Amino acid sequence: KQEVTQIPAALSVPEGENLVLNCSFTDSAIYNLQWFRQDPGKGLTSLLLIQSSQREQTSGRLNASLDKSSGRSTLYIAASQPGDSATYLCAVSGGGNQFYFGTGTSLTVIP
């Protein structure tokens, strides 16, 4: 069974810093990996999707990388802003189209 781990569980940084969030998974047979943000009391919003054949995806200040062979993905956030404060979740989908989520990293960006 696929297991997804996100480290650290919580992160606090001053505004303007660049930061990296980590996601690791145990089974490299995946269709894709997605990064989401979740604001308190709200649903999940998709940030980036990386197909299994891709190495990275970029959207604005966000860059996600995927190393399938080592079972790792990183989400890089450049020039962090207080509005980036949220919980960030990664999810992998594999055979049978099941999705497995990490428990998330809670990010606080201090003004």
Partner 1 sequence: EAQVTQNPRYLITVTGKKLTVTCSQNMNHEYMSWYRQDPGLGLRQIYYSMNVEVTDKGDVPEGYKVSRKEKRNFPLILESPSPNQTSLYFCASSTIGGTSSSGANVLTFGAGSRLTVL
- Is residue 22 a contact point for partner 1 (CB under 8 A)? no
- In whole angstroms, the minimum distance from the beta carbon of 94 to partner 1 comes to 8
Rule CB under 8 A: say whether 31 interacts with partner 1. yes
- Of 14, 10, 39, 12, residue with least CA distance to 22: 10
Q: Tell me how far, at minimum, the Cβ of 80 lies from partner 1, in Å.
A: 23
Separation CA 51–CA 57 (nearest Å): 9
Q: Which of residues 39-98 bind partner 1 (CB under 8 A)?
A: 42-46, 49, 51-54, 89, 91, 93-94, 96-98
Element at 93 (helix H, strand E):
strand 86-94
